[in-house]
Amino acid sequence: MTITLDFFLSMLQQAFIQRAFLIGIIIAILSSVLSTFIVLKKYSLIGDGLAHTAFGGLALGYYLGLEPLWVAAITVILGSMGITKATRSAKISSDAAIALFLQLGLASGIVLLSLARGFGVNLESLLFGSILLVNTEEIITATVILLVTLAIVFLFYKELAYVSFDEIQARAAGMRTWFFDYLISGLAAVAVIASIPIVGVLLISALLVLPGITSLQVSRSLRETVLLSPLFALLSVVIGLLLSIALDTASGATIVVTGLLILLFVLALKKLASKTRKTIRY
């Protein structure tokens, strides 16, 4: 099939495509706003840990006959608190704590799926997302989560910035760093739950990490990083969705691959600019 402008215009007139782009934009902004703080706090793997915890929570919900997303939400929030508690205890490193919850969530989810013989659930949709199937209720929920998250980040921006850059100095200044550690992990947990319809439980961490890493390559301040991060996330979602429609590929995975390609492109431009400056200097 030949891909033309008319094809894309006709596709964009479809209600389910419009909903997909809308939820994609919402989640892109949500995840990217948190991405900066997660990367600076060296919590980059927390998305993986919480995503696999969500997998266990979803499986538990299906197994018990309860609303899977609500069970997963409770499980992920408890998991985020557990990771933060374990990390702050100084007895377990952050990567070890995340790995512990990751393995626990994944293993328990697989066991429950095996016991119930899959629950009759589309496992591929669960793992990799189904952004084209999102409904209005999910869009409303994601919008509320985004607005609350933006309000919290705006309210505590200076404190989050201080704790993310230098937690030891912030603690010495009398700040309640433990509160902001729990706040960041709690917001990440909520973002994970909101992101499941888009990229599934296996690719969520990319949305929470790639925008922040990419923006850090070109920004000169935290404020610039926070502002540029959503831009890169939006580019990933919009271009990724268009490519997935054109190539008939999995939307979530295509969005993540697009984000990775944007990062590589930015790194290449940064390296080229550095070489150009050196050449001009000498």
Confidence of residue 263 (pLDDT cuts 50, 70, 90): very high
- Phi/psi region, residue 166 (left: phi>0; alpha: psi -120 to 50; beta: rest), is beta
| Tokens read off for 126 | 């669960």
Q: In this structure, what are the phi and psi dihedrals at residue 201, rounded to the nearest 5 degrees?
A: -80, -15
Predicted local distance difference test score (pLDDT) of residue 4: 66
CA 12, CA 142: separation in Å to the nearest integer?
21
Q: What is the mean pLDDT of residues 131-146?
A: 84
Those residues with Cβ within 8 angstroms of residue 30's Cβ, 6 or more apart along the chain or in another chain: 142, 145, 146, 149, 191, 194, 195
**44-58, 228-242, 251-265: range with lowest mean pLDDT:** 44-58
Tell me what the pLDDT averaged over the chain comes to: 81
Question: Residue type for 139, please?
Answer: I
Write out the residue range of the structural domain in which residue 180 sits: 5-281
Tell me the per-residue pLDDT of 165-203, one tens digit each, with 9 for 90 and over: 777 777 777 788 888 888 888 888 888 888 876 777 767
Predicted local distance difference test score (pLDDT) of residue 6: 67
Tell me the per-residue pLDDT of 188-241, one tens digit each, with 9 for 90 and over: 888 888 887 677 776 777 888 888 899 988 888 888 888 899 999 999 988 998
Total domains, the chain? 1
CA 79, CA 92: separation in Å to the nearest integer?
15
Predicted local distance difference test score (pLDDT) of residue 131: 78
- Which CATH number fits the domain that encloses residue 30? 1.10.3470.10
